[in-house]
Every structure is written in C-alpha cells, then in structure tokens.
A and B are shown apart, each in its own frame.
Chain A
Amino acid sequence: MNALLLIVPLAPLVAALSALLVGRRAPRAAGRLAVGGTAIALLTLLALLGRRPRISTTWLQSADYTLTVGLRLDPLGLLLALLVAGVGLLITIYAVGYMAEEQGQARFFATFAGFIGAMLTLVLADSLLLLFAAWEGVGVASFLLIGFWYRQDEARRAAQQAFLLTRLGDLGLLLGWLWVLQAVGTTDIATFLQAVETAALPATGLTLIALLFLAGAIGKSAQLPLTAWLPAAMAGPTPVSALIHSATMVAAGVYLLLRLFPLFAVVPLVLNLVFWVGGLTALFAALVATVQTDLKRILAWSTVSQLGEMLLALGLGGPLAAAYHLTTHALFKSTLFLTAGAVDHATDTRDLRQLGGLRRTMPMTALVFGAAALALAGVPPLSGFWSEEAILAQAAATGPFPALLLLLLIFLAGIYISRAGVAVFAHRPDAPEPAGHDPGWLLLGPMVLLALGALGLGWLLAGRIEAFLAFPAEPEVALVWRMSAVLASLAGLALGALRVWRSGPVPTFGGRPRRLEAGLDRATLLPARLAFYASSVADGLEVGFDRLVRGLAGAARRLAAGNQRIEAGFDRAAHGLARTTRRLAAGNERIEAGFDHAAAVAAGVTLDLGRATETNETRGISATLDRFAGLFNRAGGRLRTLQSGRLYLYTLGLFLWVLLVGVVGGMVFWL
C-alpha cells in the first residue's frame, strides 16, 4: 500500500519524461500525457484517502549523519497534495486548450508535468533533503515555464529574476537543513520536529535555523523583501501563473512554515518576524495592486498580499487558519487567473484601460470571475470568507491591531478585485466596443469546476479542517469582527467598483502606491545588491592582487611592446613604400594594359583589314599575276634550254642553219 504513494509524484514525472520523448513527433500527445499523469496522481491520492502511508529509506550514511529519503502522507501533505493534484489536473486540462496553438508543446507540458511531480514530491517529502531537492526542482520548473516564451525579452528577464531571487531564499533553506543535519544527524523531518518538541536542541540554534527556513519561505512565497519576482513572473503563460504563481509553488513557502510550525512555535521571536513580514507584505502588495492596470499583475500582487496574510496568520500562531486560507486561496486565485487567461485569449490584451463590457460577450467568464472575486473578497458564504474569518479570529485573539490590519487588508482586497472585475467585465460608456467570446469548454470546464470549488470549499471545510489537520484549533471570533470583516469587504468592493465606474481604471488611491511598488522593487533588489557587494569586495581584493601581478607582467610586456612597436614602425614604413610602389606599378600596369588593349584592338583591325586585302589579292590580282608569271616562267623554261651553254650545240645550230639556208637557197636558185 505504501508503494502506491510512490505513484503520486512519479506519475507526473514519468508523464513529463515521456512527453519530452514523444512530444517531438506528436505534440498533441504531450498535453494528454501531462493530464493523464496528473490524473493518475490525483486518483492515487484519492485511493489513499484515510490512510497514512509512509516510505522512507536511508540514502546515505556517513559517520553520525544519515541522509534519508522518504515520502509520507500526513493530513497536511494530503491536503496540499490533493490541492496540487486537483488544481493541477484542472489547470493542465485548461492548458491543453490554452496552449493548443503554441509551438513547443512538448517542452511546455513536460515542464508542467515535471512541476506537478516536483510539487507533489515537495508536499509529500518526509526528508528535508528530498524536500530541498523538490524545492529546487520546483524552482527550475518555474524558471523554465516563466521563460517559456524565451524569445521575448521580458519573459527571459522575468525568468532569470525569479530564479535568482528565489535562489537567495533557497540558500537559507539549504543552510537551514544542513544545520538541522548537523544538529540532529538526520534529514528526517519527523525526527527533527520530535527533537525540537523535546527541546533537545539549543534555542539559539533553533532560532537561527528558523530564520534560515523563513528566508527560504520568503523567497519562495515572494514576501518582503523578495516580492518583485512574482509580478514579473506574469510574463509566463497564464496557466503557469495560475498553477505555479498562485496555487502551488508560491504556497510552498507557507507549506514549509506549516510543515515546520513546531519549530517556529518554540521560537516566538521568529514567529513575530513572520507576522510582520506577512503583514507588511500583505499591506504593501494590496496597496500596489490598487494601482496596477494589467489584470494579471493585479492578480499577482493580490497573490503576494494573500500570501502575506497567510504568513500573518502563521505569525499570529494560527497554522490552521493559514492552511485554511492556503487551500481556499489556491482555488479562487487560480480561477481568477484562468479567467484572466480567457480574457487575454479572447481580446489579446490584459490592459484594464483597453478592456470593458466583456460581461456581454463573455458571460460565463464574467460569472466565473465574479464568483472567484467575491470569494477572494470574503463575501459570505464563499470560501474566502471562511478562511479569512479564521485568520481574523486568530488576529482578534492576539490583539486589536492585527485584526484591524486584517480588516484593512480585506477592505483593500475588495477594492482591487472589484476594480479589476468592473473594469474588465462591466459595461462602461467610454470603453471600446468589446471583442471576444467565451472560450471553449476545454477552457471553460476547469474554470467552472474551480469556481465551484472556490465557492463551496470554504463552507465544505468549515468546521472539518480542524479535525483534519493536527494543528491547534483556532479561537472563536467575536461577532463584531465578523460583521466588520463582511462590511470591510463589501465596502472595498463597492469603493473599487464605484471608482472604476466613475473615472475608469485609475489607481484607487492615487499614484503613491506606485511609488510604493518601486520601493518594493528596490527593497527586493537590496539583499541582492548586498550579496553582490559582498562578493564584489572579495572580488576587489582578488582583482587588486591580480592587478599587481598583471602590472608587473604588463611592465615587462610593455618594454617588449615598445621594441615591437619600433620594429612595427619600420615594418609599416617598408610596407607603405612597398604598397606605394606596388600601387604605382599597378597604375602603370593598368595604363599599359590600356595601351596594350588599344594596340591589340588596332592590331586586330589592321590584321582583319590585312586579311581581307590578302584574300582579295590572293584570289584576284595575285592569282592573275601568278598565272602570267607562270606562263612566262614556263615559256622561259622552254626557251632557256636553247641556251644550254654547250658550245657544240651552238655550232650544231650554226651548221644546221647554214645547211638549211644552203638547201633552201639552192632549191630557190634552181627551181
């Protein structure tokens, strides 16, 4: 039976790996695999309801230290695991529809399923080591998902910011569990908490350990002073914002504090700090949320504020209220994010100033948003009302100041959420003609289901969660406070709506909160700067020494370089001369080439003329003359035989002539 527990985190992780493998060839399959994996995890969790299985093994044993790895399904873990798996499943289904037309689906769903797996591991972990590993895995998945659209500059920067700022908190977590390991000798959480309860450890050490763990929680939950990364993380896809940055991952910090509440319970100083951190964060974030114009950023600041409320509740010593609010918040905030995604999908914008009147074109979305918003605002009998009532009870039990603070927070929450809802969905005469429509059922289904959860879960859990969780029950709340909270909520809603109705989506309280936002940003950067400066000082020392060494080397080098430069000068002069000469030669050559060409052309023309003349002569005049010459030559050749140079031939001719004359003469004479 215990083995079934392994399936819970492993199913999404296996789905993630297979999605990565299959995704390249079948991108559609990646989403289904993620849904399937998450569904298996959820079903396994449901099958394990009522049981408390535990798997734990020693990974490494070295001298006094034992590194254990294990899973354990206790009520808190079961609550959060159900939350993660359930909300995760719905949002995964929503994401399948939402990301249908995006590239890199395999990457997205693999990371998404990986995140769910890591988150389940985180909430089920029985070992600080495994918790830390899952914590880091969640951070990596968050980084990858925020930077999913890595081609956008904003997304890239937001991803880096989120990763590095949470790293500061993670450093605290790391140091904390290492200290625990050093102090207790094991990473097993139950053992550690048992040691804390038995006061086997020194108080100072515990305080420091608690502070370190608090730092980790602050980082992960975007509390002061590390708030800035969460609103920036809205650059990621909306399903990511809904799942990671509202329902699950940011709740990991609160979960850590809840899980280790016995530790914090023994160190009231730290608990006090938690109260202040949470309270201030909640207040500031709520104020900042009233000035935002980006719908998702409003929700992001709202999340920060709500997380601050949880810490506030924790700081007041009310883990039950914190867990309660964590659960309800996950539902209604993810619902709000999903509606924001639907609006974004339909209108391609999240700017309040450009939106308006979507109530007509997107009635279902508007309905869902309205339900979730009312739940957030704490309107009874919706879920937010119950959880905030629990916190209020805790605060009232402590004193009037925390209660008033909480009332203020409720009031502010009502303002910013009603402002956003009215600005987006209510009809405004000055708003542009609304475009868009309700999304398909693939998106709408999870939204509606989550909205139903947001509406009813609070009431469902009311009175039962105390029995479920092992935390001390919260005190009863006075009716005055209860009515005050409802009034504050309604007043906030009314004020926010009225402001928007009158003057559009302007900041409810003017521009001051905006300055506050910048201040928060700066405050966020302060620890980072400090860390940077610290490292810079060390760097500076190193650089100084380096520079000394380099200076010595540089002097020697400069001497050599001087020589070299002189040589280079000579070289350059020689090169210059050579180049000039070459250029002159090239010029000459070109001129000569020109002459050559001209001469060649002239020669060619002359040659052609000569050839023509030659042909003419050869065929005409020359042939005739040749024939004449040949005639004379032949005649001369025949005649020259007469002039043989032979004396006897001449005498023969002479005598023949004489004979002829004699004969002819004699015949003439006689006849």
Chain B
Amino acid sequence: MILGPVAQIVAFSLCALIAIAGALGMATTMSMFRSGIFLMASFIGVAGLFILLSADLLGLLQVMMYIGGMLVMILFMVLFSHDPGGAMMAGMQLPIIEKFFSLGLLPREQKQEEQSQHAGNGHQPMEQNGQDDHAGHADHGDQDAEQNGHDEHAGQNGHGGHEDHEDHEHHEHMDMSMTTPIKKPAAVLAVLVGVILVGLLLLRPAWPIVAATPNPNSAEMVGHLLMGKYMLAFEGAGLLILIGIFGAVFLARAGHFPDERGREARVAVDAQPTAPEAPALQPVADADPPDAAELVGVTEIQTRRNLEKDGRGEQ
C-alpha cells in the first residue's frame, strides 16, 4: 500500500510514539495491569511500523501472536502478583515519568472508599489527591525523595542479601516496591545505551540503502521461503514451539505435589515406604501375596497413585 509523504510521516510518528510511549509506560508505571496494557500499545505501535515498512505479514503476526496470545498469558500471570493494580505504590513520591504513567492510581483504602461512594467516576478525587501530594512535597524535589527511598532499599537489600532467607515480613516489605534497587543505574545504563546507539546511528548514517520496492505479496514470498529454503528452520521452530508448549504445560500443571500437603505426603512416603496398614493394599495382597520386596514396590506405587488421585481431585 502506498501512502503519500505526509501520511507516511504522520503514520510513522504516530506508530513510533505509540511504540515508545507504550514501552516507556510499561517500564515505568506502578500498576502491572497497566504495564500489560501499555505493552499491548507498544506492540501495536511496532506492528504499525512493520506495516509501514511493507512487512504486512509480520505486522499481522505481531498483533495476533503477541496481543492475542502472549499478552493474554501475561495479563493472566499479572493476576497472580501481589499488587497488580499498583495500589500500594499509588501514594508514594514518584519521579515525573512514573508519576505520569501512574496517574490515576489510588491507594487501596481510598480506592475502596471511592468505589463504594462514587461508582463510576473516580477521577476527580484522584487528581485532588495527587495535587495535594505534590503541593506538600513540591520543594523537596521528587528525584531526591525517590532517591532516598531507593537508597534505603538498596541498603536493606545489601544487608538482606547476606542475611538470606528473609522471613515473610521482609518479603512483604520488599513487595512494597515495584522496582529493583538498581533502578537508577539501570536507567543510566538504558539512557547510555540509547544515547550510544542513537549517536552511532546519527554519526554513521551511510547505509547501503537500495531503492527497490519489495514484493507487496510478502506472505507468498515468506511462505515459499519457509517451505523451501528455511524448511528446516521452520520445522525447528515448530518443534521448539511444541517442546515449549510441552514444557510449559509440564511445569505449570499441578504435578504430583502441588502444595505443602503433597510434599509432606511425599516425605511421609519416603520415610515409611511399606505403609502396611494402607487399606488400598488389601486387595492386592489378597489377590497375590507378594514377598517383602514386591510388597514395598507395590505399596509405593499404590501410594503414589492415591496421591495423584488426590491431587487431581484438588485441581
């Protein structure tokens, strides 16, 4: 599809903005759910860029695979997390970017009050809260405040790392923050990498660019290549996906010992493999009285089966 120059510039700017802003929002917002949404926006932006670059198939694949599959999976996982809505961090002092992308988040108790009072419209009090917050701490500078807080975390982690196996309270405290103690070095590094890359790009603009226009029917070309030249890679990718699916299913399924109770049962089985009073043993013993070794084996198997049954029952 051929667009005019203005349309191209507008489309590129929009897609690039969406991709970058989405990525930035994903990285900086306090709400993991928002992160997922921002990531979706970023994927969409990148997909637009793909389409702008005449890679129609890849653009569609991007949208289908990432947004349709992976992002759903990610959002599903986000729900496992401790504070997917970012309510804990909502009232904190935040840098400007994070605050921008976290705008509108409410602390948990206020949010509950708000939900009970104002059913649909939560923006008004949220903004007032945010303004009040800012008014109170305007002079200190947000960076400094945030830096202090992270320094404290760094100190704690530095010590905590040596004191390993922190108890539950410590984990609770750690969960307060969305970010690691090296957020600032990470930011510096990221900026550095970005600056270097951009600098390199700007300093060496001479790329062997050809004016040729690719075949608009890219799907056909890709299909031919996949079935011809990259047949092995295609099959390998397919195998990889298969194995990945198997692995993911294998890891994520409840398994033999889905919880503490199951593990304790396993320990008990290891400790007393004979389990002579197990009622499940009775029919086997009646049918064919085995010797001691066989009995042990049978008993273990029987017990495992029972456990598995239990596990399934729980699932």
Contacts and interface: CB of A to CB of B under 8 A. Distances in A.
Interface residues of A, number: 12
Interface string A639-671: 000001110110010011001001100100000
B200 interface: yes
A652 B189 contact: yes
Nearest to B200: A666
Given A646-B180, A648-B180, A652-B182, A659 B193 contact: yes
Nearest to B197: A662
B161 interface: yes
Nearest to A640: B162
Interface string B177-216: 0001010011001001100100010000000000000000
A655 B189 contact: yes
Contacts of A659: 189, 192-193, 196
Contacts of A652: 182, 185-186, 189
B54 interface: no
B180 A655 contact: no
Interface in B138-178: 157, 161, 164
B189 A656 contact: yes
Given A648-B182, A649-B182, 19 more contacts: A644-B161, A645-B164, A646-B157, A646-B161, A648-B180, A648-B186, A652-B182, A652-B185, A652-B186, A652-B189, A655-B193, A656-B189, A659-B189, A659-B192, A659-B193, A659-B196, A662-B196, A663-B196, A666-B200
Interface string A484-521: 00000000000000000000000000000000000000
Interface in A317-365: none
Nearest to B180: A648
A330 B201 CA distance: 175
Contacts of A656: 189
A656 B182 CA distance: 13
Contacts of B180: 646, 648
Contacts of B161: 644-646
A503 to B, nearest CB: 134
A95 to B, nearest CB: 119
A605 B161 CA distance: 50
The 9 A-B pairs at the shortest CB distance, nearest first, are namely A648-B180, A644-B161, A648-B182, A652-B182, A659-B193, A655-B189, A652-B186, A645-B161, A666-B200
5 contacts: A644-B161, A659-B189, A659-B192, A662-B196, A663-B196
A648 B189 CA distance: 13
Nearest to A663: B196
Contacts of B164: 645
Nearest to A647: B180
Contacts of B185: 652
Nearest to B157: A646
Interface residues of B, number: 12
A666 B203 CA distance: 12
Nearest to A670: B204
B79 to A, nearest CB: 22
A645 B161 CA distance: 8
A335 to B, nearest CB: 132
A671 to B, nearest CB: 13
Nearest to A656: B189
A130 to B, nearest CB: 126
Interface in B227-280: none
Nearest to B203: A670
A116 to B, nearest CB: 123
A643 to B, nearest CB: 10
Contacts of B193: 655, 659
B203 to A, nearest CB: 9
A648 B177 CA distance: 14
A663 B196 CA distance: 8
A360 B70 CA distance: 167
Contacts of B189: 652, 655-656, 659
Nearest to A645: B161
Contacts of A666: 200
A642 to B, nearest CB: 11
B314 to A, nearest CB: 31
A209 to B, nearest CB: 133
A649 B189 CA distance: 13
Contacts of A648: 180, 182, 186
Contacts of A662: 196
A662 to B, nearest CB: 7
A646 B181 CA distance: 10
Contacts of A663: 196
A648 B164 CA distance: 17
A483 to B, nearest CB: 156
Interface string B41-60: 00000000000000000000
Contacts of B200: 666
Contacts of A655: 189, 193
A194 B268 CA distance: 146
B227 to A, nearest CB: 35
A666 to B, nearest CB: 7
B107 to A, nearest CB: 26
A644 B189 CA distance: 20
A646 B186 CA distance: 14
Contacts of B157: 646
Interface string A404-435: 00000000000000000000000000000000
A11 to B, nearest CB: 123
B74 to A, nearest CB: 18
A659 B200 CA distance: 13
Contacts of B182: 648-649, 652
B185 to A, nearest CB: 7
Nearest to B192: A659
Nearest to B186: A652
A645 B164 CA distance: 10
Contacts of A644: 161
B237 to A, nearest CB: 25
Contacts of B192: 659
Interface in A610-661: 644-646, 648-649, 652, 655-656, 659
Contacts of B186: 648, 652
Interface in A272-326: none
Interface in A6-20: none
A662 B180 CA distance: 25
A667 to B, nearest CB: 11
A649 B196 CA distance: 22
Interface string A185-200: 0000000000000000
Nearest to B193: A659
A662 B161 CA distance: 31
Contacts of A645: 161, 164
B156 to A, nearest CB: 13
Nearest to A648: B180
A646 B153 CA distance: 14
Interface in A382-412: none
B167 to A, nearest CB: 17
A28 B64 CA distance: 156
A563 B126 CA distance: 118
A655 B193 CA distance: 9
A54 to B, nearest CB: 136
A91 B196 CA distance: 157
A652 B200 CA distance: 22
A220 to B, nearest CB: 126
A436 to B, nearest CB: 122
A648 B157 CA distance: 12
A645 B180 CA distance: 13
A659 B161 CA distance: 27
A662 B195 CA distance: 13
B180 to A, nearest CB: 4
A648 B174 CA distance: 15
A653 to B, nearest CB: 10
A420 B29 CA distance: 162
A663 to B, nearest CB: 7
B96 to A, nearest CB: 23
Contacts of A646: 157, 161, 180
* Most chain A beta carbons < 10 A, residue from B157, B161, B189: B161
